[in-house]
Each structure stands twice: as C-alpha cells, then as structure tokens.
Structure 1
Amino acid sequence: MRRSILGPSLAVATLALALTGCGGTKSDTGSGSVSPSSSPTPSKSRSACTAKETLAATDTNGTFCVTTGNTVRILLDGTTTRPWAPVKTVGSGLKATNSGILIRPGDASNAYEAVSAGTVKLTSSRPLCATAAHKISCKGIQEWSVTVVVSK
C-alpha cells in the first residue's frame, strides 16, 4: 500500500497562498513574515531630509524637512473596508491646524503648521486586508510613519 502526501502538501500550499494574498512579503531575513520593525530606520541627519510639504502613504519611513511658518499636509487614501487610523504625533515643532480638505470615509487627512524647531514622528496604520462581517480576513496591519524635521 502506497502512502499519499497530497493532503498535507495541499494544506501547506493553501496556507502559503492565503498569507501572500493578504499582502504578506518576505523580509530581508527570508523568514516569510511581515515585520514593519525590520524596515530601516530613517537617518535624522540634514543630508537625509527631503523638502516636501504634502505626505502620502508612499512616503512611509521617510525623513522630511520643513521650515517654520510652512504647513505639512498628510493625505492617506483609504477605503471603508481598509481605513487609516487617525494620525498620531510624537515630538515638538508642529501644531495641528485645519486641513481644509473634505475627506472620504477611510482616509486620514491632517495639516500641521511648523511653529518651532524640532523633530516630530507622525504615525498611522490600517488593516492589510479588507474586513467584512462573516468573511475570512487577515489580522495584518500596514503601518505608516514619517519623521518631520522643523528648522527655523
């Protein structure tokens, strides 16, 4: 009698497809897990700063410079099934101001006025996969963070 290994192999293949279908990627270590903490930490040196006043989801892990008196806008496009959490700030140099922009459900839109020299880390997150009642979904989180260096 010959033994079949099709059952366990099929289960492993199905699991692998389910994980990659929800946005899982291999990290630099090749472990196959999603690990936002394995991303390189942005340098806070002046040469690593990019002058930019409107930041989007594609700017994650970046370091950006702004001078006092200017405004930094955050525009994170989300959906009702994958909404961005409100943007959090840690540090000094920016003061929340009216963004003046109408946002759709799931978006995160903020504006900050550069009021003094300092460094601020802005963060948000959203689900990796769409979430719906009574449907299979992953528990992964897409993290977004930038560092803003304010100079006089």
Structure 2
Amino acid sequence: MRRTTPIAFAAAALLLAGCGSQSGGDNGNGTGSGSGDNGKVSPSASAPSSGSGCVTHVELTAADNGRTVCLAKGGELRLTLDGTKSRPWKPVAASGTALKAINAGFVLQPGDASAAYQAVAAGKTELTSSRPLCAEPTAPGQVSCKGIEEWKVTVTVP
C-alpha cells in the first residue's frame, strides 16, 4: 500500500481553493458592475469587445454608480435603475456628445429609470440620475429626510 504525504494534500487543497474564486466586482455575466483598476468596467468573455479593448455592449444598474465605462464607437449601452413608487429615480440625463439616445423599450415599474445609448463620437459623456434617500412621510408626525441618492457613470468613447 502506498503512503500519501501531507504535501500532496496541501497541494490539492491549494488547487481547489483557487478554483471558482474571482477577483473584482463582476456581477457574473460580464456586464456592468465589473471592476478593474480605478473602478472601470472592463470587457470579459461574455461582454463583446472591440479591438480597442472597449466593450461593444454594456448593461448598467444602480450598482455601477461611480464607474467609468469604455464603449467602442457604434457600441450600445443600456441601463436600468430599479426604484420604487415612494423613491423614484429621475430620468437619466446625459452630458456630452459621445452618446446618442436610442429606444430603451418600456419601463414597467413605477419609480424605475431606463435608458439606452449608442456611442457615436469620440469623447466623454456623464450619465446621471438621482432619487430621494427616504420615502416621503404618509402621515403627520412621521420622520422625513431631505437626503438625495445620486448615481453617475462616465462613458468614454475612443
């Protein structure tokens, strides 16, 4: 009978520990929420990428607040901010000329904000929205707050 050494067990444990681990904040589908250096959303195997290293399609959510996205010219960006009737997101505003608004489809839930853009020119565009931090009181004597939750993503088109 052959003896198994503790080194073999340690090596097997290290190999198994590395399997399935993932760094960064990717949400598992390779779009949105992925983080690399400086919070940039980086392309992955399931997010189509152009030769420039920028993505050609990205879907963003509220979790992507503060991110920078590199979108290839001609690429599409879609975003959905899930809100509620008592804490609705304002419509998404775009400042800059790198993106052109396209049909985002239907928003089915009150309080949600949805938008879609196509990268049309080199440059930088900031997408922003906001919503109340707290729901408005529904009866006298309830606590209220004046806080605002802000959302911003910067999109660069090379």
TM-score (norm. length: structure 1): 0.64
Three-state SS of the structure 2 residue aligned to 1:68 is: strand
Aligned residues: 107
Q: Counterparts in 2 of 1:117-136, with a 5 A limit? A: 117-134=122-139, 135-136=142-143
RMSD over aligned Cα atoms: 2.0
Shift of 1:120: 0.3
**Match for residue 75 of structure 1?**
80
Shift of 1:61: 0.6
In our comparison, the structure showing a higher alpha carbon Rg is 2
More helix by share: 1
- Structure 2 residue runs of 5 or longer lacking an equivalent are 1-36, 44-54
What is the aligned-residue identity percentage?
50
Determine if contact 1:69/1:113 at 8 Å carries over to the other structure. Answer: yes
TM-score (norm. length: structure 2): 0.62
Specify which structure has the bigger relative contact order, considering alpha-carbon pairs within 8 angstroms and separated by 6 or more residues: 1
Which shows bigger deviation, 48-57 or 133-142? 48-57
**Match for residue 145 of structure 1?**
152
1:85 matched to 2:90:
yes
Which residue identity does 2:131 align to in structure 1? R
Three-state SS of the structure 2 residue aligned to 1:70 is: strand
CA–CA distance in structure 1, aligned partners of residues 95 and 153 of structure 2: 11
Three-state SS of the structure 2 residue aligned to 1:58 is: helix
Shift of 1:136: 2.4
Q: Counterparts in 2 of 1:3-152, with a 5 A limit? A: 48=40, 50-51=42-43, 53-134=58-139, 135-151=142-158
- Structure 1 residue runs of 4 or more that deviate by more than 6 Å after TM superposition: none
